[in-house]
Amino acid sequence: MKENNLALVSKNDLSKVEESALNAKQLDFLLTRTPKQYVKQRPAKGGGTWSYVSGGYVKKVLNLMFGFKWNFEIMDEMLLDTEVVVKGKLTVETPTGIIVKMQYGNKDRIKRRDGGYLSTGNDMKAACTDCLKKCAAELGIAADIYNAEEFKEVKIAEAQPNYENLLGE
């Protein structure tokens, strides 16, 4: 994965709207890389590896960012022959309003040797966790993992002094 150069922005550049739904601390967190200790690897279908974060990490981040003022609900589920697919909705509460993100998650079903399925309940839970992670990624959580090609880490700079004004120029 190619490392991006760090971009530097001021707090004033964070939002182009007068009242952002997210405060500067929340935006600062979303604009930086996921701490390495939370990034895991697994084999990818077709070879190679995928990076991911756990559902526990995503829940922890949501709790810290939104003070436990978030909700996740399954809107629809499909139990197919080879996979479980769910559609979910993540709702977070901010001081200026509500943010809603919807996405799909899935999990391949695991078959037993006799042709039955090992645990449909576990497959459903895994699809729900996948869906929550995808909804959270729509907010920008773990954006460096789930949108690696377009992610650019940003550092929020304190207001830079205007040296021309200080010098009387």
Encode pLDDT of 94-123 as tens digits.
Answer: 988 999 999 999 999 988 899 888 899 999
Per-residue pLDDT band at 53 (split at 50, 70, 90) = very high
- Set out the domains of the chain in order of their start, with CATH numbers: 7-158 (3.30.390.80)
Question: How would residue 165 be classed by pLDDT, with cut points 50, 70 and 90?
Answer: very low
Distance between CA 35 and CA 29 in Å, rounded?
10
Residue 57: pLDDT over 70 = yes
Cα(157)–Cα(6) distance, integer angstroms: 12
Q: Is the pTM of this model over 0.85?
A: no
